[in-house]
């Protein structure tokens, strides 16, 4: 996971540079591939790919799959698979839609401020319960995860159909739809504040970690390497905020917003969208899941079980209950992803989340999660989801035919795994 | 030497009609190494898994320092300060030495988060004692040699103050130098008053390291003896034929006819 050697490097200076930075070369490779991909699409779309508007759209299109991909990392790391996430998303989205349009309004009144949160809580509860049930069948009844979730793929897709009688449910609650993407953004000022807080937090973590290592007498990176890392993360975070802020809200829409509060739009005023709430949600989930993976016993046991299930069992880890926890977590994340997906559409449709299981698994695998278990990172899965989405929408923008798009995406998935295998063989990792 | 550290009396376990362990009785005193010998499938690993909590006995009685205990899981065994070093090493290959050493018993910060730095510091301390050449603290144990991996497994037992140590073929995967290192470590642990069960195929190993030996065949105890009272050939006869020599105490699995001859 944390490899410091640069494979195949002929240049000793570069080797020292990267070794000093102690970067994950695998991650660097992925970021490099992603940047190349973006630049190529940018050329072929005459500069339309790397505009604030398209980057904004890319991020909100990625959120739903990326949220689930973080959970899929844990599932695959423990040597399981979950084929049911797309269908589970549909069931949970249907439950949330019915709760907020059919059940709650007669009780609380239409547009009551508590509706959205009750709907989401109901959805998460349903997702966690369904996930835990599937995990129980896998862990305690020893039915292979492939079979349980293949059954789940059919069952939950049609439970969703059953709940809604096949109808599209909506329009959804106004507050609820704000977590969908463009309908709910933080605005420029709040986005900058968030950006600076994030920079302060990452720098503080970096310094704290260095001090802790030094206090135990461990070797630490040279100061210049730490400073470089700090500058790179700062630029990346603030650059991301700046890009999202640079996408201006269209004047017609601004006029409507001002008209709604009884004011007129001052001449020449422009406002950027800033960070969408859905992206904020994804950032929070990423941080939480990374902390779980690296700093909690649960995460440690997930990776230990994936690396050697017998050793984990002999060390007193309850691997059966661990399976239940992992699948329950996956269910909860599918519920959040379902909330984002339904909110983005404004409706809960019958085919919501179709084929998402494949996108989610592909994102995790492209992001470096090994199907043999024991290896995987949360940030890798997010990057994997971003690469998949960029590929898909980039080709659509270039005007590649739909069948060709899917052929390319499928090929890229297989090639990415091949490159990963070759990389691991070379580094012996 | 009044009360044995461990007494396993009349232990039985069967898997689908096969009596893997059939009324076996063994004991172990503090500061003693007892070798368990036998063919593959003789039941020695199974017997020891009853003590380490990996299997649950069908019948029998385990006493630690004279008190009867019930061991149903690896966790129960750890409570009794029983640590096991398995043939297959039982390490999670993808994790580093510190994570493996503390697996299942992680050190945590006041907020409940895993404290990797403190665990690494503790690991460096104990490895400095056991195997000063050990340097790869941040690599997954997959990248370590057989001997280094074995020292991680042994460090785990030593760090948590094991009183009873079970070693299943501890030198099977090791080179000459590394085997020597493990042998020295066993002597060191003996001096500290630990009781060690050593499972081995290698008779020379057993004669070099053990004070007593017990031989199993087809799930039954052939006999037990002090290593000073028997010869290599005697022990081979016990393993292959189930013949108990005069210097040994016969068990239920001994060939009755041959014992008369001696």
DSSP, residue by residue, B11-41: EEEEETTEEEEEEEEEEE-TT-EEEEE--TT
**Rounded to 5 degrees, what are φ and ψ at B11?**
-70, 135
Same-domain status, B244 and B175: yes
Query: CA B196, CA B83: separation in Å to the nearest integer?
Result: 10
Strand B212-217 relative to strand B33-37, pairing: parallel
Q: Is the pLDDT of residue A283 over 70?
A: yes
Of the residues B161, B195, B219, the one at which a domain ends: B161
**Are A314 and B78 a contacting pair at CB < 8 A?**
no
Query: Is residue B54, in this structure, part of any structural domain at all?
Result: yes
B84 and A CB contact within 8 Å: yes
What are the pLDDT digits (tens) for B68-83? 999 888 888 888 889 8
Give me the residue from B78, B94, B105 closest to A374, CB to CB.
B94
Q: CA nearest B118 in A: which residue?
A: A216
pLDDT tier, B256 (very low <50, low <70, confident <90, very high otherwise): low
Q: Closest Cα of chain A to B238: distance in Å?
A: 32
Chain A interface, mutation test: which of B104, B152, B166, most A Cβ atoms within 10 Å?
A: B104
Same-domain status, B178 and B246: yes
Query: Is residue B205, in this structure, part of any structural domain at all?
Result: yes
**Are B103 and A304 a contacting pair at CB < 8 A?**
yes
Residue B55 sits in a domain of what CATH number?
3.40.50.300
Q: CA nearest A218 in B: which residue?
A: B121
**Are A304 and B86 a contacting pair at CB < 8 A?**
no
pLDDT for A124: 97
Q: Is the pLDDT of residue B261 over 50?
A: no
CB neighbour list of residue B131: distance below 8 Å, 6 or more residues apart: B147, B148, B151, B155, B181
Least confident of A199-203, A218-222, A348-352, B235-239: A218-222
A426 and B CB contact within 8 Å: no
Strand B195-199 relative to strand B33-37, pairing: parallel
CB neighbour list of residue B140: distance below 8 Å, 6 or more residues apart: A1, A429, B93, B94, B95, B96
A308 and B CB contact within 8 Å: yes
Query: Is residue B20, in this structure, part of any structural domain at all?
Result: yes
Q: CA nearest A311 in B: which residue?
A: B90
Q: CA nearest A305 in B: which residue?
A: B92
A255 and B CB contact within 8 Å: no
The pLDDT mean for chain A works out to 88
Give me the residue from A218, A310, A316 closest to B120, CB to CB.
A218
Same-domain status, B157 and B170: no
What are the pLDDT digits (tens) for A370-416? 888 889 999 999 999 999 999 999 999 998 998 898 898 889 889 88
Contact between residue B228 and residue B197 where contact means Cβ atoms under 8 Å apart: no
Mean pLDDT of B184-208: 86
Chain A interface, mutation test: which of B51, B56, B94, most A Cβ atoms within 10 Å?
A: B94
pLDDT for B262: 40
A292 and B CB contact within 8 Å: no
Chain B interface, mutation test: which of A208, A300, A318, most B Cβ atoms within 10 Å?
A: A300
Give me the residue from B89, B91, B117 closest to A213, CB to CB.
B117
Q: Closest Cα of chain A to B190: distance in Å?
A: 24
Chain B interface, mutation test: which of A296, A307, A321, A372, most B Cβ atoms within 10 Å?
A: A307
CB neighbour list of residue A68: distance below 8 Å, 6 or more residues apart: A85, A89, A330, A333, A334, A337, A356, A360
Of the residues B142, B161, B180, the one at which a domain ends: B161
Structural tokens at position B36: 């368990």
Query: Is residue B86, in this structure, part of any structural domain at all?
Result: no
Query: Is residue B87, in this structure, part of any structural domain at all?
Result: no
Architecture per CATH, domain A12-184+276-427, reads as Orthogonal Bundle (1.10)
**Are A303 and B95 a contacting pair at CB < 8 A?**
yes
pLDDT for A217: 80
Q: 3-state DSSP helix/strand/coil percent for chain B, to nearest 5? A: 35, 25, 40
pLDDT for A8: 37
What are the pLDDT digits (tens) for A20-77? 666 777 888 889 989 999 999 999 999 899 999 999 999 999 999 999 999 999 999 9
Domain total for chain B?
A: 2
Query: Is residue B88, in this structure, part of any structural domain at all?
Result: no
Same-domain status, B61 and B22: yes
Give me the residue from A307, A313, A429 closest to B95, CB to CB.
A307
CB neighbour list of residue A426: distance below 8 Å, 6 or more residues apart: A7, A8
Query: Is residue B244, in this structure, part of any structural domain at all?
Result: yes
- What domain range includes position B199? 6-81+166-261
Question: What are the structural domain ranges in chain A?
Answer: 12-184+276-427
In chain A, pLDDT over 70 holds for what percent of residues? 94
**Are B114 and A317 a contacting pair at CB < 8 A?**
no
Q: Is the pLDDT of residue B194 over 70?
A: yes
**Are A216 and B121 a contacting pair at CB < 8 A?**
yes
Query: Is residue B1, in this structure, part of any structural domain at all?
Result: no
Same-domain status, B14 and B33: yes
**Are A216 and B117 a contacting pair at CB < 8 A?**
yes
Same-domain status, B210 and B188: yes
Query: CA B45, CA B24: separation in Å to the nearest integer?
Result: 13
**Are A316 and B74 a contacting pair at CB < 8 A?**
yes
B99 and A CB contact within 8 Å: yes
B1 and A CB contact within 8 Å: no
ipTM of the shown complex: 0.80
Same-domain status, B104 and B77: no
pLDDT tier, A12 (very low <50, low <70, confident <90, very high otherwise): very low
Of the residues B108, B130, B161, the one at which a domain ends: B161
State whether residue B116 is helix, strand or coil: helix
Same-domain status, B36 and B114: no
């Amino acid at each position: 996971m944390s490899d410091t050697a640069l494979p195949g490097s002929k240049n000793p200076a570069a080797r020292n540079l990267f070794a000093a930075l102690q970067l994950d070369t695998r991650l660097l490779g992925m970021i490099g591939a992603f940047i190349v991909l973006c630049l190529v699409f940018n050329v072929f779309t005459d500069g339309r790919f790397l505009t604030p508007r398209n980057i904004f759209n890319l991020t909100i299109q990625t959120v739903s799959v990326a949220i689930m991909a973080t959970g899929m990392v844990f599932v695959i790391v423990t040597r399981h698979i979950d084929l049911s996430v797309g269908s589970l998303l549909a069931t949970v989205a249907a439950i949330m839609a019915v709760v907020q349009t059919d059940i709650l309004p007669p009780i609380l009144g239409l547009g009551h401020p508590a509706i959205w949160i009750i709907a989401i809580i109901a959805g998460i509860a349903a997702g966690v319960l369904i996930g835990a049930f599937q995990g129980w069948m896998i862990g305690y009844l020893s039915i292979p995860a492939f079979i349980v979730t293949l059954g789940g793929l059919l069952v939950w897709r049609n439970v969703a159909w059953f709940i809604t009688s096949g109808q599209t449910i909506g329009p959804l609650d106004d507050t609820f739809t704000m977590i969908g993407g463009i309908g709910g953004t933080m605005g420029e000022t709040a986005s900058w504040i968030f950006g600076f807080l994030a920079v302060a937090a990452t720098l503080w973590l970096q310094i704290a970690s260095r001090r802790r290592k030094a206090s135990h007498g461990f070797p630490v990176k040279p100061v210049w390497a730490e400073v470089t890392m700090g500058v790179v993360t700062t630029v990346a975070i603030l650059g991301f905020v700046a890009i999202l802020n640079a996408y201006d809200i269209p004047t017609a829409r601004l006029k409507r917003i001002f008209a709604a509060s009884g004011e007129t739009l001052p001449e020449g005023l422009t406002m950027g969208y800033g960070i969408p709430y859905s992206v904020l949600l994804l950032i929070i989930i990423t941080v939480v899941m990374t902390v779980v993976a690296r700093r909690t016993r649960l995460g440690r046991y997930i990776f230990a079980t994936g690396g050697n299930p017998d050793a984990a069992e002999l060390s007193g880890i309850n691997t059966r209950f661990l399976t239940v926890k992992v699948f329950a977590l996956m269910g909860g994340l599918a519920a959040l992803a379902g909330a984002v997906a339904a909110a983005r559409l404004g409706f809960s449709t019958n085919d919501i989340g179709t084929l998402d299981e494949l996108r989610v698994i592909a994102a995790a695998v492209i992001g470096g999660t090994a199907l043999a278990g024991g290896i995987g990172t949360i940030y890798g899965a997010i990057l994997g989801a971003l690469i998949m989405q960029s590929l898909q929408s980039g080709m659509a923008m270039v005007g590649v035919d739909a069948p060709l798009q899917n052929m390319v995406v499928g090929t890229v998935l297989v090639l990415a795994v091949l490159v990963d295998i070759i990389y691991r063989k070379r580094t012996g990792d | 030497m009044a009360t044995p550290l461990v007494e396993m009396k009349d232990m039985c376990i069967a898997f689908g009609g096969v009596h893997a362990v059939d009324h076996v009785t063994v004991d172990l005193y503090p500061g003693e190494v007892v070798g368990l010998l036998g063919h593959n499938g003789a039941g020695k690993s199974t017997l020891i898994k009853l003590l380490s909590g990996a299997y649950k006995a069908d019948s029998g009685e385990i006493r630690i320092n004279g008190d009867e205990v019930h061991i149903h899981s690896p966790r129960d065994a750890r409570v009794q300060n029983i640590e096991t070093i398995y043939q297959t090493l039982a390490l999670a290959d993808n994790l580093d030495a510190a994570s493996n050493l503390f697996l299942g018993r992680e050190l945590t910060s006041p907020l409940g988060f895993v404290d990797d730095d403190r665990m690494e510091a503790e690991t460096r301390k104990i490895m400095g004692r056991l195997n000063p050449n050990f340097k790869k603290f941040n690599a997954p144990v997959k990248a370590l040699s057989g001997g280094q991996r074995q020292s991680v497994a042994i460090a785990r037992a030593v760090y948590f103050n094991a009183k009873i140590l079970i070693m299943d073929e501890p030198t099977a995967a090791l080179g000459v130098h590394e085997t020597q290192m493990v042998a020295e470590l066993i002597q060191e642990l003996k001096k500290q008053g630990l009781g060690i069960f050593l499972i081995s195929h290698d008779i020379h190993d057993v004669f070099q390291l053990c004070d007593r030996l017990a031989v199993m065949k087809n799930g039954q105890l052939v006999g037990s003896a002090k290593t000073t009272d028997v010869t290599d050939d005697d022990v081979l006869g016990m393993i292959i034929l189930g013949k108990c020599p005069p210097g040994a105490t016969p068990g239920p699995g001994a060939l009755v006819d041959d014992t008369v001859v001696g």
